Amino acid sequence: MTEEYKDLKLEVHNELLSILEYWSTQTIDHEYGGFLGKIDFYNTVVPKASKGIILNTRILWAFSASANYLNTEKPKTICDRSFVYLQTYFKDSIHKGVFWEVDFLGQAINKRKQLYAQVFTIYALSEYYLFSKNEAAKSWAVEIFHTIEKHTKDNIHGGYFEAFHEDWSQIDDMRLSHKDLNASKTMNTHLHILEAYTSLLKIYDSAAVKTALTSLIHVLFDKFLNSDYNFELFFDDQWNLLSNSISYGHDIEAAWLLIEAAKAVNDANLIKKTNMLAITIADMFLETALDKNGAVMNEKNRKTNEIDTDLHWWPQVEAMVGLDYVYKLTNDKKYRDASKKIWYITKNHLIDHMNGEWHFRVDQHHIPYTSEDKVSMWKAPYHTARAFIKLNEE
């Protein structure tokens, strides 16, 4: 390993510590419990903001994973606080699963069952169990797995449906956010089911989980991956494509998550296939996803060829991880060279050196969007914490 890359690993390790410091000191809701729902660009708390399941599960995951990586009990208070809040306010004890959103007091204000939320809860609970050995966390994760398999799996056409009402009945509007299409099957959600089941298998050695995870690997390759080695994003029930967009961050994130999934099911053929495809995906990514400075652009519309050149925070770090995985497969320094360029842009323009934490996104001239929040439903320490842990693994 070059001295330069050793320096990068040390820098991201130290940045992980800075991120944990921010979230442990700036985001605790001392008045109403749990964690603050929103902090704006200027680091000002938005009073009485609602609290989303994605933010809260990602906090639990990030601090649990960091505790496991750092081999320390220091984050225990944050981890336990997060778990108790999720169990008390987001858990649906009647219909099972978790609610989408509660108000600042913890009262459920959106009880819809978004599959994305269910699997993120599994992901967080699995990591928390590895840290705490709390059997209630493991039992809850397993319960949600069986609930997902019962209510959301498409036993006719394959894959999983996106969203449901509180009681798991059909819902017309399945969108994960206002930016998404109203599609019944999405790449984003399937990728995070894969991620969650990979983690669940570590704590629950179940044939059912292994079978489901193996099937997900094939679905991502057979249904979502196209001939250009990008992942299509939105489909209807029968797998008719509904979108024209490429998400560069999701492409490179999927490359390394599929490798981890194949390892988890311990299938030699799948491991070989995921390794080979990860290299091809990474090569296509290097050709098309980077701007003139070497940072990761957001999206491209294949129909119009219009490119969203904004630099969002999370694709930068996912690219660093994906490229590092492919470097370890090939020993080709071009992947680490690209990763170092991404880190240079990131540390200079996406980290908020004045107020702490990271900007949500900057434009192509590296000017941040002041309308974006520092903490919100979709702005959490998960992508960054995970990337910096992964980049320091041997």
pLDDT tens for 69-104 read 999 999 999 999 999 999 999 999 999 999 999 999
Angle (CA) 202-390-263 rounded to 5° is 40
CA dist 391 and 13 (Å) reads 9
Residues in the chain: 394
pLDDT digits (tens, 9 = 90+) for 333-361: 999 999 999 999 999 999 999 999 999 99
Hey, what are 62's tokens? Answer: 């990030």
pLDDT digits (tens, 9 = 90+) for 35-52: 999 999 999 999 999 999
Q: Which residues, in sequence order, are CB contacts of 308 under 8 Å at separation 6+?
A: 297, 298, 299, 300
294 pLDDT higher than 80: yes
Q: Please provide residue 185's backbone torsions phi and psi, each rounded to the nearest 5 degrees.
A: -140, 125
Q: At what angle do helices 382-390 and 3-26 cross, to 10 degrees?
A: 150
Name the pLDDT band for 123 (thresholds 50, 70, 90): very high
Q: What is the pLDDT of residue 2?
A: 77
Decide: 219 and 235 in contact? Cβ < 8 Å: no
Decide: 40 and 360 in contact? Cβ < 8 Å: no
Hey, what are 376's tokens? Answer: 């919100």
Reduce the DSSP state of residue 376 to 3 states and report it: strand
178 pLDDT higher than 90: no
Decide: 288 and 248 in contact? Cβ < 8 Å: yes
Residues of the chain with pLDDT > 70, as a percent, come to: 100
Name the pLDDT band for 179 (thresholds 50, 70, 90): confident
381 pLDDT higher than 90: yes
Decide: 339 and 320 in contact? Cβ < 8 Å: yes
In the predicted model, what is the mean pLDDT of residues 184-188?
98
3 pLDDT higher than 90: no
Q: What is the pLDDT of residue 83?
A: 98
Query: Which domains does the chain show, CATH number per domain?
Result: 3-390 (1.50.10.10)
pLDDT digits (tens, 9 = 90+) for 54-64: 999 999 999 99
Name the pLDDT band for 394 (thresholds 50, 70, 90): confident
For the beta carbon of residue 263, count every other beta carbon within 10 angstroms.
Answer: 14
Say which amino acid occupies 67.
A
Residues of the chain with pLDDT > 90, as a percent, come to: 96
Reduce the DSSP state of residue 62 to 3 states and report it: helix
Pairing mode, strands 51-52 and 101-102: antiparallel
Hey, what are 170's tokens? Answer: 């059909």
Q: What is the pLDDT of residue 180?
A: 84
In the predicted model, what is the mean pLDDT of residues 301-320?
97
4 pLDDT higher than 80: no
Decide: 71 and 52 in contact? Cβ < 8 Å: no
